[in-house]
Structure 1
């Protein structure tokens, strides 16, 4: 069976800089849950941005559902099915109310306004946030913004989730909700986090990004990582 997502020889450099990613090979299967470790500045966010088409690699190929991602049409297809949670939730919340933000994706998928509203409310309820639906995003706490941003992608029923530091700003209760959701979901998962305990709970496979290269990290080897690896 073909992988859901495959990277072949991905190399990337920022203008005037040394390569951040050096010939990255990676694949994520349907339903697979993988964690990504790396020190600050290792390139985890850059790798995610390359996958989502926010940055263009200087070399290599990305395949989604077995097809090369080469143009805008391919990226649109990928983004409809892969939900990306930015490290900064403010990058994803821009509507007057949280409900409108969460309904935005379903509307773009062709749902009617009533259907999109119902979908948004159901998604917020899943995250125990329905009581915040009419609040403007700027009035939310950092943790509430993080879960709100997650709701915007969950409302689109993605088959894969790429999450960049999803526990940032979450209190204990919100973190527990997130853990339960990610453990239960059938969606494939690629998550970068400095929170070792969290990533151990929600993933079954691990990778280390270091020196621009990606290394398979067997579970036994993860024990040597510091808590904030």
Structure 2
């Protein structure tokens, strides 16, 4: 059973030409896939459709064997699919790193003590404990990117979706991010213009071309 299954997705922004016409793809357990394509081809749009942030004109999104049709379906799916946004500032909104990382577990019903234990566990595993009590908005772009990943991993997702995760990363944080992702067990869906990064993390996948997904 695929973890994520898109079938014949069509989508257009109001008043504009179609972005997607018949896009289909599958992500299976343990699989790592990338989606490549030129700027404006619709890669980020596709990820937002998967997460239920945009509604396609037609086609189906199925996650973990269950069709996602209503917001409630996507709400349940988002507990199992972690989405790392292209812009870290869209995802980090708490005063400190610890509070940002604890936010997800607390929303899943964890106690404060349990959430803080998860914070320490995740930050230790990612070698980010030195950032634990830092003010989030004062972090560098690379540090924010790594903290954003920590906030998602704190939810223990089965699938990790990343939208251009290497944007604004210096060489050291680029290498750290690659090393972290290589060591994860989750299935990964990666959107990236960086061919070398795709090769390292998710060498197989799709190219978005002519408004459809072509398997590469």
Asked if these proteins are the same fold (TM beyond 0.5), I'd say yes
Mapped partners of 1:70, 1:16: distance in 2: 24
The answer for the alignment partner of 2:208 in structure 1 is: 209
Mapped partners of 1:53, 1:79: distance in 2: 9
The answer for the alignment partner of 1:33 in structure 2 is: 32
Mapped partners of 2:210, 2:19: distance in 1: 8
The answer for the alignment partner of 2:114 in structure 1 is: 115
The answer for the alignment partner of 1:227 in structure 2 is: none
- CA offset at residue 21 of structure 1? 0.8
Mapped partners of 2:110, 2:7: distance in 1: 35
Deviations 1:159-216 (A, max 9, x none): 0001001111222222222222222222110001111111101114121112211111
The answer for the alignment partner of 1:54 in structure 2 is: 53
Mapped partners of 1:53, 1:206: distance in 2: 21
The answer for the alignment partner of 2:158 in structure 1 is: 159
- CA offset at residue 48 of structure 1? 0.4
Deviations 1:91-117 (A, max 9, x none): 100001111000000111111101101
The answer for the alignment partner of 1:183 in structure 2 is: 182
- CA offset at residue 144 of structure 1? 0.8
Mapped partners of 2:18, 2:158: distance in 1: 31
Give secondary structure in 2 for the equivalent of 1:73: helix
The answer for the alignment partner of 1:44 in structure 2 is: 43
Give secondary structure in 2 for the equivalent of 1:47: helix
Mapped partners of 1:17, 1:5: distance in 2: 28
The answer for the alignment partner of 2:9 in structure 1 is: 10
The answer for the alignment partner of 1:223 in structure 2 is: none
The answer for the alignment partner of 2:147 in structure 1 is: 148
Q: What value does the CA root-mean-square deviation take over the aligned residues? A: 1.1
- CA offset at residue 126 of structure 1? 2.2
Mapped partners of 1:139, 1:54: distance in 2: 28
- CA offset at residue 66 of structure 1? 1.0
Mapped partners of 1:70, 1:175: distance in 2: 37
TM-score by length of 2: 0.97
TM-score by length of 1: 0.91
Mapped partners of 2:77, 2:158: distance in 1: 10
Mapped partners of 1:56, 1:139: distance in 2: 35
Mapped partners of 2:88, 2:59: distance in 1: 29
Give secondary structure in 1 for the equivalent of 2:79: helix
Counterparts of residues 52-131 of structure 1 (less than 5 Å): 52-131=51-130
The answer for the alignment partner of 1:169 in structure 2 is: 168
> How many residues are matched?
216
